[in-house]
Amino acid sequence: MGYTFRNNDLLLGRYSGSFFKEQVITPNSGSIILFDKNLNPTVVTTSSLYFNKLSASKLNVNGNTTLGDSSSDTLTVSAKSTFTAPITASSIRVTGVANFVGNTTLGDSSSDTLTVGAKSTFTGPLTASSIRVTGVASFLGNTTLGDSSSDTLTVGAKSTFTGPLTSSNFRVNGRLHISSSVSGAAFIVSTINQGSTNETNATLIVTGSKVGINTDDVDYNLEVNGSFAATTKSFVIDYKDKPGLKLVHASLEGPEHGVYVRGNATSNKVFLPDYWNWLVNENNMSVQLTPNKKYQELFVENIILSESSSYFTVKECGIKGWFNRIFKKPINFSYVIHAERKDVPILKTEIKKKKK
């Protein structure tokens, strides 16, 4: 069989016995020509396509696309393609630029995978057992990865999730942006209790990347622009003198957003950090003094907070203090100052429980 294009038609040449017959195939608008393994042509409308395996360098699909239900059914997109209607497949691999405007579903088996190797956009809900992003991907609709422990989402490059995301295993090696148009949490990590006796807690692991919450200017492994709450807060480090153990210390708690500064002084005037004039409430400060090396009756005389200079002064009372001031003998003490921040709202120590 031979074939050629003539205007908008497909001209086929076919041998039948000793004769050569021509067959003209004229597809309608919105149709394509498919060939079977014997090169027999069939005109198919693109409103509903069914494949077992589809590989395309450029493909625009306006109707539903279904790739059966077997684990070997695959869709490979190697160049810019657009899918404007729901798509169902067991495996999707994008190495070019793909836009999925409709729903995208990858069955429910643990072998169903979606691999995005280049810039792609999913504007409708996405359901898959495994998603791996090595390029740039934007998921604008709901993204669900079933409920089995083998379901995984791996993000190795810049990706955006603007709708709710459900996953059993979530791993981020690149840049990840999660947002939601609805109020409440946009990302939840939890363990579903299915009665198993060997269940482990759900975990979120971020490696080789930094995490920013309400900020994209991230300088630390985890940076939060806003409030942060926890039942306990601790630091955990390796125990240098006891191999195999870790040292754990808990954070000091209190009914205020407090700050402190401490040190040693041999002068009656102690300068405070220059930012304290706008950071702390000058009417809610406390200073503790500890005499060093000898008995001294010390008290705080003044506390000054201003843009030009912030400091406090100390005096020694009694006859001994008067004697030391006359002969200019230095004092020696340690100090600790606690204050409440005024750049943030006052801490509410009693709040109502949220309704579940």
Residues 23-34: tens digit of each pLDDT: 555 555 545 555
The mean of the pLDDT values for the chain is 75
DSSP-derived 3-state class of residue 277: helix
Taking every pair of C-alpha atoms in the chain, what is the biggest distance, in angstroms?
133
Radius of gyration of the chain (CA): 35
Residue 155 phi, psi (nearest 5): -115, 115
pLDDT of residue 5: 46
Does the pLDDT value for residue 337 go beyond 90?
Answer: yes
Residue appearing with tokens 């089995």: 148
Residue appearing with tokens 């017959």: 21
Residue 284, CB-side half-sphere exposure with 13 Å CA sphere: 12
pLDDT grade for 350, boundaries at 50, 70 and 90: very high
Mean pLDDT computed over 82-108: 79
pLDDT in tens, 163-197: 777 776 777 766 666 665 544 545 555 554 444 44
CATH class of 258-341: mainly beta
pLDDT in tens, 266-286: 999 999 999 999 999 989 899
DSSP-derived 3-state class of residue 326: helix
The burial class, CB within 10 Å (0-12 / 13-18 / 19+), for 11 is middle
Residue spans per domain, the chain: 2-45, 48-224, 258-341
DSSP-derived 3-state class of residue 242: coil
pLDDT in tens, 246-257: 999 999 999 999
Mean pLDDT computed over 109-119: 73
Sign of CA dihedral 104, 110, 112, 115: positive
**Contact between residue 73 and residue 56 where contact means Cβ atoms under 8 Å apart:** no
pLDDT of residue 230: 87
Of the candidates 203, 93, 104, which has an alpha carbon nearest to the alpha carbon of residue 149? 203
pLDDT of residue 19: 46
More confident of the two residues 306 and 54: 306
Sequence-distant (≥ 6) Cβ neighbours of residue 190 within 8 angstroms: 202
| Token representation of residue 259 | 């700050």
H/E stretch holding 252 reads none
More confident of the two residues 204 and 315: 315
Rounded to an integer, what distance in angstroms lies between the CA atom of residue 323 and that of residue 298? 14
